[in-house]
Chain A
Amino acid sequence: MKKVQFSGIAPPLLLIAPQMAIVVIFFLWPAAEAVRTSFFIQDPFFGRAVFVGFDNYVNAVTRSDYLRSAAFTGVFVTAICAISLGFGLLFAVCADEVLRGEGPYKTLLMWVYAIAPPVAGLIGVMLFDQHIGPLVDFFAFFGWELQTGVDYWDTAFAMTVVAAWKQIPYNFIFFLSGLQGIPRSLREAAAIDCRSPARRFWTVVFPLLAPTSFFLLVINITYAFFETFGVIDVMLKGEPGNNPVSLVYKVYLDGFRGQDLGGSSAQSVILMVGVMLLTVVQFRFIERRVHYA
């Protein structure tokens, strides 16, 4: 094969310039601006900035509601990933073995993905409404008085269910295509060696799904951190009150509802560093166990 090389450094640089420009303008510049703003305290109207050093950071992490919000975010992200990955995998395994009516079955499982987060939030608001919600009546039947908007953990429960529900179809699609990519011969060979379908699944099929699972884990963590904003916003109905909020939502509350740009920037920088660390951990420690075929 003939190798074509550029005759100088200029043409390749020129060719990657648009991409680099986009990265700089839309990612690096705002991130740098957030870091800069986080060291100042600003008057909203005139933007007169007073340098306060690390005050915004100290102030953010020492507030009781920040720690509570961080703890909630941890529980929220873990619960969403566990529920949506678990059910996604379960449904995919079931759908993989369906012989008749495969099409409608899959479509029924996938349509939820087409719902926009705020709409999902609105459906959640209706289902979990403390006065008219059918799910509230359902739980009352079992003696659980679910009070969304009043009880902290009841609201957390409702938010988690809605946010996880919306993500299940996405995981379902990927797990299903992952399952269908496993060669039939491999499964047949496994079936000869082992009678237990559960054991076959965990020792043969699941390891082969590892690349898909790892990809989905990364995507789901990002979803739970950032994209659940719409669901939370709609379910809070404009009044955070004594309800759980995720760290991302708190950045919005303090910055845009409360006009405290410095404090809000400091929180977003903390979040940025946290997510970066999490990503490093994922790739260093989890990806090592993933075998790409």
Chain B
Amino acid sequence: MIRTTIAAGALALTAAAAHAQTEITWWHAMGGALGEAVNAVAEQFNASQSEYRIVPSYKGNYEETLTATIAAFRAGEQPNVVQVFDAGSATIIGATGATIPVEDLMNQNGIPFNIEDYIAGVRYFYADGSGKMVGMPFNSSSPIMYYNVAVLNEAGVTPPKTWEEFRDVTAPALKAAGYVPLAQSHTPWIFTENFMSRHNLQFATNSNGYDGAEGTQLLVDNPAIKAHFTALKDWSDNGLYKYYGAGWADNQTPFENGEVAIWLGSSGSFGGLKKSVDFEFDATFLPYWEAVTPTGYNTFIGGAALFAMAGHPAEENKAAAEFFRFLSSPEVQFFWHRETGYVPITEAAYELGKSEGYYESTPLAEVGIQQLSLPGGEWTKGYQMGFYVQIRDVMNREYGRIFAGETTVDEAFRTITEEGDQLLARFAQTQG
């Protein structure tokens, strides 16, 4: 009893001593080693100055963090800064007034902000229709192609630049050498969203959804992507590609076991792969169909961004702005990039990585940035669609049915378009 009283008293004293500081909260979805890197960034910020203090807390996976944020916002208990993932961005960006756009936050607090400082593939993904940055890109990655070096040498092939090369040369040789030539870990992300970007194809009406939720419709019922899935199904039937389900790890494991020669995963996956495999692997850009485009375009980023929630005192908003300034500084970006494998979000941080010689010692870390920095087209900025988590679930379900032979490619894309459009229309209704 006495002990409790003393402890409570001590706590009250500490609280009083820290009162001069403005404390802000940061909800995130980074568990394990990534969570440790988040804590390290927060500690560095707290140590770098004495006016502000940021307290990160882990709220579960991406979906859980968004749900927790929404519940907290409705109860008036929202955090100052929250991490929201790519598929949830339309929900939070669409809720005008729930967040303070990064650009406004920086301008209001007199912190210089120039969207051109950010690397091309990152710049507009979390922006609104007018191109104003709403969410600050935080952990950004892009899908790239990993391959088992020894296996490709054994089969006498090089990593394929195009899907035509994969189909005609790479895959038959790898199959003959006794391997599953190809697997990939996130069909909606890699073979849909980024397929559209890599080939500069329009993904949805209303400028891929950026011009507003009203009337946005999916444009995936498109001959190029249907031809891609027809080819995949054909490869899957002939042992040139294997679909291990919708789970990320279920598709990565056979690559780590050496059964699969080529695996499409995240540009941030190399750190984990290095720890789990003992063979030499390398990575390069995602292949593209030469029949669709003569050269491949840049891919989108995946991952998540940080949003400053509205409804807090000006002093706390200032603290959030200072934190964003700190976070986007080249040194912090480089630290985050090196610790986690996510790409740096600014040109300056990329330059810093180059001048430190990081990419000479770790060339794999550069593949994602290079692919994001490829020439872009009209449809390579990103997409913004509401209820997108459910749309992805529809895609995953239909793709699973294609590979199980329960549906045809045409039928699957018709269903995705139909159910996806229904979801988009429902979302537009909530925004009305």
User: Which residues of A does B touch, CB under 8 Å?
Assistant: 41-48, 50, 52, 59, 63-65, 130-131, 147-152, 237-243, 253-254, 256-260, 263
Contact = CB atoms under 8 A, between A and B. Distances in A.
Contacts of B431: 43
A241 B430 contact: no
Interface stretch (B131-139, B144-152, B332-340, B390-398): B390-398
Contacts of A151: 404
A258 B427 CA distance: 11
Interface in B127-173: none
B429 A256 contact: no
Interface string B30-56: 000000000000000000000000000
Interface stretch (B174-182, B242-250, B266-274): B242-250
A272 to B, nearest CB: 22
Interface stretch (B66-74, B217-225, B280-288): B66-74
9 contacts: A50-B430, A59-B422, A149-B244, A237-B250, A239-B246, A242-B398, A242-B399, A257-B389, A259-B387
Interface stretch (B91-99, B118-126, B319-327, B347-355): B91-99
A258 B390 contact: yes
A124 to B, nearest CB: 14
Contact of A150 (B257, B404, B429): B404
B312 interface: no
A126 B91 CA distance: 35
B247 A59 contact: no
Nearest to A239: B246
Nearest to A46: B95
B412 to A, nearest CB: 10
Mostly helix, strand, loop or mixed at chain B's interface?
helix
A256 B426 contact: no
Given A64-B415, A131-B254, A238-B61, A43 B244 contact: no
B245 to A, nearest CB: 4
A168 B94 CA distance: 49
Contact of A240 (B66, B67, B244, B246): B246
B294 interface: no
Interface of B: 61, 63, 66-67, 70, 73-74, 91-92, 95, 97-98, 243-250, 253-254, 257, 387, 389-390, 393-394, 396-401, 403-404, 406, 415, 419, 422, 426, 429-432
Given A130-B250, A150-B244, A242-B246, A59 B404 contact: no
A225 B158 CA distance: 52
B396 A44 contact: no
A57 to B, nearest CB: 13
Given A150-B403, A256-B67, A258-B390, A241 B397 contact: yes
B397 A242 contact: yes
Given A43-B431, A45-B73, A131-B254, A242 B404 contact: yes
A44 B69 CA distance: 10
Contacts of B73: 45
Q: From A131, A149, A237, A259, name the one whose CB has the most chain B CB atoms within 10 angstroms.
A: A259
A131 B253 contact: yes
B224 to A, nearest CB: 23
Most central of A130, A148, A241 by chain B CB within 10 Å? A241
Contacts of B250: 130-131, 149-150, 237
A93 B404 CA distance: 42
B246 A149 contact: yes
B393 A253 contact: yes
A164 to B, nearest CB: 23
A42 B397 contact: no
User: Which 5 A-B pairs give the minimum distances between C-beta atoms?
Assistant: A242-B400, A241-B246, A149-B245, A45-B95, A239-B246
B245 A241 contact: yes
A43 B95 contact: yes
Nearest to B431: A43
A131 B244 CA distance: 10
Contact of B397 (A45, A131, A240): A240
A152 B244 contact: no
Nearest to B404: A151
B404 A44 contact: no
